[in-house]
Amino acid sequence: MSILEVKGVNKRFGGLQALGDVNLSVHENTVHAIIGPNGAGKSTLLNVLVGKLIPDSGSVTFDGQSVLGRKPYEIAQMGISRVFQTPEIFADLSVMDNVLIPCFAKRDGAFKMHGIESVSSEKQLIEQAEQMLAEVKMLDKRNMIASSMSRGDKRRLEMAMCLVQEPRLLLLDEPTAGMARADTENTIQLLKDIRTQRGITMAIIEHDMNVVFSLADRITVLAQGTPLVEDTPDKIKNHPKVREAYLGEAQV
Amino acid sequence: MLGLNSRDFKLFVIVCIMALAAPIILNPFPTGSALGQSFNAGYPALLQRFVIFGILAIGFNILFGLTGYLSFGHAAFLGIGSYSAVWMFKLLSYNVLPAILLSVIMAGIFSVVIGYISLRRSGIYFSILTLAFAQMSYQLAYSVLTPLTNGETGLQVYNGDPQVLMSAGDPTIPHLFGITMNGQSQLDIAGWSFTFQNGYYLAAIFLIASFYLSIRIFRSPMGLMLRAIKSNQTRMSYVGLNTKPYMLAAFVISGMYAGLAGGLLAAMDPLTGAERMFWTASGEIVVMSILGGVGTLIGPVLGAGLIKYLENIVSKINDNVLHGWFSFMPDWMDNLFVTIIHPFIGKGWHLTLGLLFMAVVIFLPGGLVQGGQKIMGKFSRNKTSDAKDGADTPAE
């Protein structure tokens, strides 16, 4: 069953057609990769999905409900989490606090006027956060300030912040961009583990073919704002149109 | 204890002791001595200012310290608090309780409106919007709203005012159920004389309560959310949190603290003027926070105390006092020193404040609290080698 439906989405920036008639459906419990050369409209598409950009026409529905015109926090509350190209974490706060905040958001909704009970009295949430940190093997770093960690750890922390909310769809924007080889391997492994343990639906935007082919169940190739083909990784590898799109980029 | 962890509780107890014993602690020199006359700060008028501006700074810190939103118009709420309180004196009676209540409520209402509009923007635009509102309030109070504010003259209680709740035997100065604010008792020991004033103690109790509430807010989920807003608003919205209402709540709480301070100012001295809302007054609050240590619990109180101390003590020193100090020197040297120091004292106390402010910002970006921690760190490192931990934890 498809959980995310993109139908006929167009987006123009002045003279540039960033997205032209994009149709896409992400099925539940699959990893769907969106690839394409630079400027293919991958990031624009992602920003449409999370409510940061409003398309000129078309529809985007998540679990049967339209996401268009909703604010990012409303879309997040619907069950879509996003991992950014450069990890977006609460850099000045401790690792524990970083994971606790999404726990509060999950339990209390977008806003709650809290009383003056101390955070440490929220035993249940703290336990939940600890479990999550244990799962990503960061429990020993719980009191560290997030900004002092390595890039790979920040990525894992961001992932933990998303997962602790048990999202129904996880959007990943080039999760391995700018990472060292070892960190990339770790991230792939982490995503694979998440996949097998939690069965979360994921949509990945990625440049690194290695990452894409080792994770994805389905791949959509985007070129100049329109989907070129959508198929399984094996078929995509040898697809003439895909080769053309990428070779075309190489010639420039 | 009291829902605080042991470190916060210690800090709270220290603040309680400081507030309650201030009339003694701040009179270190014998009353009649030259040093005592220049540097003793333990007299009621100044003590009141310490605690009232302490309350103001604590409230400001809930907004600026936690969320990083720099309001440049907080004096408006102080002024609104004062006007509300004086109106209560005029309409009801000289009892300070309804006056203080109304000042907090009015400041709350105004901060909802001003906050709702100003919080549509962040960063410098937010600061400018709050500044604009404060200046607007000042101008309105100064001229347009003269029937309400008595304009240039300032608002005060006149004999013809209704004071409907006033009964025959009531004091004709601010009081709390008969206990007058300027009533005081004096304690003379050897050369020292200590003054304990009712008004000061009322304000000190409010300071202690405000400080307690501020610790609780800092440690609550609300405090965590506000810190998160300061750290990363993008992530905040992508975990599904709406930052606007959290910000507005912080703004209103902080505005109500300012209203309380304004109400207390009026309770100590039942008249008020528009200059209380002027932008320099707002700037002073910012300077207090930064001097003491932004985002720390105790910092703003220290900053407020330091500024009020300088304002009242340095500005009191004049050339004659200086000549007195340097009288042991030869005349030419005495004159030279007095000439050099002259611009920094009396009316020039702002110059001293400015230099101090620059020094703190450059050398101690964490304010006086950071300075204190550095000193404490030095001491404890001499004692034990593993005390580094305590010195490095964020200032609270």
CB atoms within 10 A of CB A122: 20
Residue B160 vs residues B4, B29, B141, B154, B173: alpha-carbon distances, Å: 49, 45, 22, 16, 15
Residue B179: partners with Cβ closer than 8 Å, 6 or more residues away: B198
In terms of Cβ atoms closer than 10 Å to its own Cβ (0-12, 13-18, 19+), residue A209 is: middle
Determine whether the interchain pair A122/B221 forms a contact, defined as Cβ–Cβ distance below 8 Å: yes
Structure tokens at B387: 């005390």
Mutate to test the interface with B, among A118, A123, A168 (most CBs of B within 10 A): A118
Structure tokens at B290: 């930064």
Determine whether the interchain pair A93/B228 forms a contact, defined as Cβ–Cβ distance below 8 Å: yes
Residue B396 has a pLDDT of 45
Determine whether the interchain pair A110/B238 forms a contact, defined as Cβ–Cβ distance below 8 Å: no
Residues of chain B where predicted confidence (pLDDT) is lower than 70: 383-396
Q: Distance between terminal CA atoms of chain B?
A: 17
Shortest alpha-carbon distance between residue A175 and chain B (Å): 16
Q: Show me where the domains of chain B are located.
A: 6-275
- A88 to chain B: which residues are within 8 Å by CB? 232, 234-235, 238
Residue A101 has a pLDDT of 96
Is B242 in CB contact (< 8 Å) with chain A?
Answer: yes
Shortest alpha-carbon distance between residue A107 and chain B (Å): 11
CATH fold for the domain made of B6-275: ABC transporter involved in vitamin B12 uptake, BtuC (1.10.3470)
The tens digit of pLDDT for each residue in A57-87 reads: 999 999 989 998 899 999 999 999 999 988 9
* Distance in angstroms (rounded) separating the CA atoms of residues B294 and B303: 10
Residue in the structure block whose two tokens are 């410098």:
B124
Taken as a whole, chain A contains a residue count of 252
Residue A248 has a pLDDT of 58
Determine whether the interchain pair B235/A88 forms a contact, defined as Cβ–Cβ distance below 8 Å: yes
ipTM of the complex: 0.89
Mutate to test the interface with B, among A101, A159, A169 (most CBs of B within 10 A): A101
* Distance in angstroms (rounded) separating the CA atoms of residues B232 and A148: 16
* Distance in angstroms (rounded) separating the CA atoms of residues A225 and A16: 10
Q: Which of residues 187-206 of B touch A (CB under 8 A)?
A: none
- Residue A149 identity: M
The angle formed by the CA atoms of residues B132, B134 and B140, to the nearest 5 degrees, is: 100
Shortest alpha-carbon distance between residue B386 and chain A (Å): 18
CB atoms within 10 A of CB B195: 16
The tens digit of pLDDT for each residue in B130-161 reads: 999 999 999 999 999 988 898 888 999 988 88
Q: Is A10 left (phi over 0), alpha (psi -120 to 50) or beta?
A: beta
Determine whether the interchain pair A118/B219 forms a contact, defined as Cβ–Cβ distance below 8 Å: yes
Residues of chain A where predicted confidence (pLDDT) is lower than 70: 246-252
Residue B326 has a pLDDT of 83
* Distance in angstroms (rounded) separating the CA atoms of residues B195 and B181: 13
Structure tokens at B41: 């700060």
Whether the CB-CB separation of B327 and B333 falls below 8 Å is answered with: no
- Residue B178 identity: G
